Chain A
Amino acid sequence: TQLLEQSPQFLSIQEGENLTVYCNSSSVFSSLQWYRQEPGEGPVLLVTVVTGGEVKKLKRLTFQFGDARKDSSLHITAAQPGDTGLYLCAGFYNKFYFGSGTKLNVKP
């Protein structure tokens, strides 16, 4: 059983579409991170959110931490093929717990 549930597990969209990935838990985390991982490589940190309700933007990516610090979302605007990869959320509660990931494929 995963402490962090990510949805959807798989997402295949056309270039230019918008998408949202969700990361949910029944536990409260003191911080939450989003990573992007490409095949054969290690996860790369995208953002850390620490305050309930916090919103951070990174170019076309918008990250939100839920008010109760139990959930988070990642929204990508006008997706590009270069956004293809595995997106992982990780919540910190005494240690890091990782979600199972969302595999995103953006078709040109």
Chain B
Amino acid sequence: DSGVTQTPKHLITATGQRVTLRCSPRSGDLSVYWYQQSLDQGLQFLIQYYNGEERAKGNILERFSAQQFPDLHSELNLSSLELGDSALYFCASSVGSRLSYEQYFGPGTRLTVT
């Protein structure tokens, strides 16, 4: 158990809908990272927040957004969902702000868009 929690574990929704994924980092970690893992693209970095502020952006689509709240939990919002958004979404956390810090991954949310 990494100490990172993610909810829900599974999510099934239709194209065009909007969903919110939630992540709670390990106790004491200030950085939260979001990743997407699909069969054809592997693990792709989406975005990083550090202590409530956006710190780095990766391959995040404009239809996706995220935020980190004062209690350090984070939410990833996915809108206008398409079939290709079906994937595993992972949250990771680390103690520091630099992307090179060791990251601890949560169990993931499996999103299925039908």
**A residues neighboring B (CB under 8 Å):** 2, 30-31, 33, 35, 40-45, 48, 88, 90, 92, 94-101
**B residues neighboring A (CB under 8 Å):** 2, 4, 42-45, 48, 56, 58, 90, 92, 99-100, 102-108, 110
Cβ of A46 to closest chain B Cβ, rounded Å: 11
Please give, as numbers and ranges, the residues of chain B lying within 8 Å of A48 by CB-CB distance.
Answer: 102
A95 to B44, CA, bound (A): 11
Please give, as numbers and ranges, the residues of chain A lying within 8 Å of B2 by CB-CB distance.
Answer: 42, 44
When the two chains form their complex, are residues B100 and A45 in contact, meaning their CB atoms are under 8 A apart? no
Question: Given the known A-B contacts A96-B45, A100-B42, A101-B42, are A42 and B99 also in contact in the complex, defined by CB atoms under 8 Å?
Answer: no
Question: Given the known A-B contacts A30-B100, A33-B102, A42-B92, are A98 and B43 also in contact in the complex, defined by CB atoms under 8 Å?
Answer: yes
When the two chains form their complex, are residues B99 and A45 in contact, meaning their CB atoms are under 8 A apart? no
Please give, as numbers and ranges, the residues of chain B lying within 8 Å of A88 by CB-CB distance.
Answer: 43
Question: Given the known A-B contacts A95-B56, A95-B58, are A42 and B107 also in contact in the complex, defined by CB atoms under 8 Å?
Answer: yes
21 intermolecular pairs with C-beta atoms under 8 Å apart? A2-B42, A30-B100, A31-B100, A35-B105, A40-B110, A43-B43, A43-B90, A43-B105, A45-B103, A90-B43, A92-B99, A94-B56, A94-B99, A95-B45, A95-B48, A95-B56, A96-B45, A96-B99, A98-B42, A98-B44, A101-B42
A33 to B104, CA, bound (A): 12
When the two chains form their complex, are residues B42 and A99 in contact, meaning their CB atoms are under 8 A apart? yes
